[in-house]
Structure 1
Amino acid sequence: MTTPYTLDNAYWSRGYVDPAFVRLGMTRARETGPTRRVWRGSGPRWDLPEDSHDLDDLLVGAPEVTLAEFLASAETDAILVAHRGKIVYERYFHGMRPHDVHLSASVAKSWTGLLAAMLLDEGVLDADQPLAHYAPELAGTAFGDVTIQHLLHMGTVMDYGGRPFCKPLEAQRYFAAVGIVTRPAGYTGPTSVKEHLATARAVAPPGTEFRYDNGNTEAVAEALRRVTGVSLADLWSERVWSRLGADEDGAYCLDPTGTEIACGRYSATLRDLARTGEMLRRGGAVGDRQIVPERVVADLANVPPGPAQRALPTGAARPIGYHNFWWVPGDGHGTFGARGIHGQRLQVSPGRDLVIAHYGSHLMSPSVPVPPLEAVFAQISDHLAG
């Protein structure tokens, strides 16, 4: 008999308890499954100047520890801090090197959101159209019947297969559907991104709740493919990656049908992650090349009214918002950021002239606290500003 799939036997309690195992998965994605290249283009590399600061002994956290100690406890694989356009701090751990690629997990959602924002700005995509306008076969599903605007703000209130919605379990079922994790014995569920989306049914009107779910990003990615006629990998390369001056090609992992897994399976070097953040900090420009329209970048920190303004309650007076698949803390510095499981982060703070890129392999377990990365980033920001 097949063991029921519950929180008690999810991946973190069945052997996924060693950061080294997490790290293997984060750094070897191109070797363990099909991927699609994201071409870096033929142009020169964009080299950020360096102005090294030794931040290893900076006291952070509560209780205070040195930054070096914090990064060790957070299972950091690599971190880069850029201030005023210069790299001031860069460290690699556990054998990772500057030219090595690392999965960015749900940071990749923000790439999809950025592309969507650009196409909305151009009028190629319509925020008020339902997804089914672009992908008619998804009509009647929770994702097909809601607008692009709702999808971009995780406003789809759905369940899958009639099950009560449980975010961590549905994430694991999604990973099984697209081939990221081994499917349980006797598995009869969906076997692709599209089949997964087709099982979703609405349980409340869209826009009444913030429900963070991979399906929203996959739905927007499908709309992008339909309106442009190219793969997500080629679109990201054409619009951003090939114009960025990246060190290396990026790569999207693919589902069994050859569809990019848009919600969290993009890999790149740490410096290329930081380059993307620095381009956005500069209003979407690299030198005299305007890669992303300045008005699109300026809008990333403007969270519209509704549940997305309270996407991540913090217990403080100021919750963290969510806009076009970017997290917005409302810290007074115009900050917006991308986040991914196991410690993947890209934080852009235009008001502080700051970009922080972070790769990690910390455990996701009920028994292991999530490292307070954002709080430590704020302390690094305060130190550099001071």
Structure 2
Amino acid sequence: MTDAPLANLHWSRGYTDPAWVRRYTTAGRELLPSRRVWRGPGPARSLPTDTAGIDGLTITTPDDRTLTLPDLFAAAQTDALLVMHRGTVVYETYLHGLRPHDAHFNASAAKSYIGLLAATLAHRGTLDRDATASEYVPELAGTAFGDSTVDHLLHMGTHVSYGGRPFDKPVEAQRYFAVVAPPLRPYGYSGPTSIREHLATARATAAPGTEFRYENGNVEALAEILRRVTGTTTSALLSDMIWSHLGADEDAYYVLDGEGTEAACGGFSATARDVARLGELIRCGGAVGDRQIIPDAVVAAIPDAPDGYAKRVRFPAAPPSTPATLSYHDFWWILNDPCGSFMASGIHGQRLFISPESETVIVHYGSQVMSPVAPVAPLVPAFLQIGAHLRHTR
């Protein structure tokens, strides 16, 4: 799970136990305080369905293995997979007791939803990308985030150390979860007990904008900025700007820390069908039917990862036969493949994959353990191949 010293391994508590992982991905509202993201007053927007014939599709992995969809589900500990093509649900399955109306943990895929809100507010002129975080949140002055600009935060451009510790991404992620969720705290825990306290321990170890470093604090700092400029909670903001316009079946929800603050970087849960509705809104340029919800310019800019912040590397899960690479923009992962695909991505296999050229939206929910003995499932190759198949057969 990590190259950190053995003394830090207790921070992986629970993440190597499949039953424990599924309990948290599927029942977060039962285990932690939460706040709903209201679906709005209107009826649910129907999702047309049609059999696409992808049940028998086989996936070729980067190491030339062949997987059936059931093989992929087993490797990814899949709880749900929903595939839409041109606005029609062409494949939908639920496993391990999950049902279509059940909300599932989105994990870090939720970062992308915060990015969408921030980009929209910046487009409207409510938020200044070049302003420093401390201009909006004075309490962040002196932290690694306070001198960073909004744009630095949106591109994971801070160089941070918490509490004077050497930075270790997996360990810091687990320490963040312990801040939000008391059951994840190891025996004798004496660290921060709120997101606000956690951010206050962050110190810069290099100038912002010099290195891509994926870190939850960037999202939490930005979420607090959005709360300050809009005067509302993260849950209400997401409902007002997006969720109440989707025609969602269900309310979504955020888990809360001890002070009642949403865990914006990963504490969001929703049904697969409603996240697919969000993906379809984005695929359609920010519109639901004839109603423009997100400015089309905001959606068009998602795959446009700017030089200077993008981490452009060969994406390990991409098929060797494709030119796909990975970069990052406004909390979205950009595949740089021929179909202009991008995705929201979270731990344990949470994905919202959007491919404009293949007109495909895919939602995957999983409960995969985080362990060196559990290889990462080849989800992205599967999504790219499903999209290519649909593009050429429907």
TM-score of the superposition, structure 1-length normalised? Answer: 0.95
Query: Kindly tell me: are residues 81 and 161 of structure 1, through their superposed partners in 2, closer, same or farther at Cα, counting changes over 3 Å?
Result: same
Is 2:327 aligned against 1:321? yes
* 1:210–1:311 CA contact under 8 A, matched in 2: no
- State the secondary structure of the residue aligned to 1:356: strand
- State the secondary structure of the residue aligned to 2:54: coil
* Structure 2 counterpart of 1:134: 136
- State the secondary structure of the residue aligned to 1:320: strand
Structure 2 CA distance for aligned equivalents of residues 78 and 164 of structure 1: 37
* 2:325–2:337 CA contact under 8 A, matched in 1: no
* 1:50–1:88 CA contact under 8 A, matched in 2: yes
* Structure 2 counterpart of 1:263: 265
Letter in 2 for 1:102: H
Structure 2 CA distance for aligned equivalents of residues 383 and 318 of structure 1: 17
* 2:324–2:338 CA contact under 8 A, matched in 1: no
Structure 2 CA distance for aligned equivalents of residues 360 and 176 of structure 1: 21
The offset of 1:207, in angstroms, is 1.1
1:265-308, Cα deviation, whole Å (9 max, x unpaired): 10100100100000100000011111101111000110011142
Letter in 2 for 1:112: I
The offset of 1:313, in angstroms, is 5.1
Letter in 1 for 2:152: H
Structure 2 CA distance for aligned equivalents of residues 356 and 168 of structure 1: 27
Letter in 2 for 1:236: L
The offset of 1:151, in angstroms, is 0.3
* Structure 2 counterpart of 1:370: 376
The offset of 1:191, in angstroms, is 1.1
Query: Kindly tell me: are residues 43 and 214 of structure 1, through their superposed partners in 2, closer, same or farther at Cα, counting changes over 3 Å?
Result: same
* Structure 2 counterpart of 1:89: 91
- State the secondary structure of the residue aligned to 1:385: helix
* Structure 2 counterpart of 1:240: 242
1:203-238, Cα deviation, whole Å (9 max, x unpaired): 111111110000000011000000000000000000
Structure 1 CA distance for aligned equivalents of residues 188 and 365 of structure 2: 35
Query: Kindly tell me: are residues 64 and 318 of structure 1, through their superposed partners in 2, closer, same or farther at Cα, counting changes over 3 Å?
Result: closer
Structure 2 CA distance for aligned equivalents of residues 225 and 201 of structure 1: 23
Letter in 2 for 1:96: L
Structure 2 CA distance for aligned equivalents of residues 252 and 72 of structure 1: 28
* 2:194–2:257 CA contact under 8 A, matched in 1: yes
Letter in 2 for 1:83: H
Of 318, 335, 339 in structure 2, the residue corresponding to residue 333 of structure 1 is 339
Structure 2 CA distance for aligned equivalents of residues 312 and 258 of structure 1: 40
- State the secondary structure of the residue aligned to 1:208: coil
The offset of 1:68, in angstroms, is 2.0
The offset of 1:178, in angstroms, is 1.8
Structure 2 CA distance for aligned equivalents of residues 6 and 221 of structure 1: 32
The offset of 1:174, in angstroms, is 1.0
Letter in 2 for 1:358: H
Query: Kindly tell me: are residues 230 and 5 of structure 1, through their superposed partners in 2, closer, same or farther at Cα, counting changes over 3 Å?
Result: farther
* Structure 2 counterpart of 1:175: 177
Unaligned ranges ≥5, structure 1: none
- Output aligned runs, 1:163-312, within 5 Å: 163-179=165-181, 181-310=183-312
* Structure 2 counterpart of 1:382: 388
1:166-214, Cα deviation, whole Å (9 max, x unpaired): 0010111111122254323332221111111111111111111110000
- State the secondary structure of the residue aligned to 1:351: coil
* Structure 2 counterpart of 1:55: 54
Query: Kindly tell me: are residues 180 and 82 of structure 1, through their superposed partners in 2, closer, same or farther at Cα, counting changes over 3 Å?
Result: farther
* Structure 2 counterpart of 1:34: 33
Out of 251-260 and 66-75, give the one that drifted further.
66-75
* Structure 2 counterpart of 1:64: 66
The offset of 1:7, in angstroms, is 4.5
* Structure 2 counterpart of 1:17: 16
* 1:39–1:241 CA contact under 8 A, matched in 2: yes
* 1:34–1:253 CA contact under 8 A, matched in 2: yes
1:140-186, Cα deviation, whole Å (9 max, x unpaired): 11011100000000000111111110001011111112225432333
Structure 1 CA distance for aligned equivalents of residues 7 and 121 of structure 2: 40
Unaligned ranges ≥5, structure 2: none
Out of 42-51 and 119-128, give the one that drifted further.
42-51
Q: Give the number of aligned pairs.
A: 381
Query: Kindly tell me: are residues 334 and 286 of structure 1, through their superposed partners in 2, closer, same or farther at Cα, counting changes over 3 Å?
Result: same
Letter in 2 for 1:17: T
* 2:353–2:362 CA contact under 8 A, matched in 1: yes
Query: Kindly tell me: are residues 155 and 311 of structure 1, through their superposed partners in 2, closer, same or farther at Cα, counting changes over 3 Å?
Result: farther
The offset of 1:6, in angstroms, is 3.5
* 1:153–1:325 CA contact under 8 A, matched in 2: yes
Structure 1 CA distance for aligned equivalents of residues 107 and 379 of structure 2: 16
TM-score of the superposition, structure 2-length normalised? Answer: 0.93
Letter in 2 for 1:375: P
Of 119, 122, 145 in structure 2, the residue corresponding to residue 120 of structure 1 is 122
Letter in 2 for 1:133: E
The offset of 1:21, in angstroms, is 2.1
- State the secondary structure of the residue aligned to 2:240: helix
The offset of 1:52, in angstroms, is 1.4
Let me know the Cα RMSD of the aligned residues: 1.6
Identity, in percent, stands at 57
1:1-47, Cα deviation, whole Å (9 max, x unpaired): xxx97443332xx5543323211110100111100011000112111
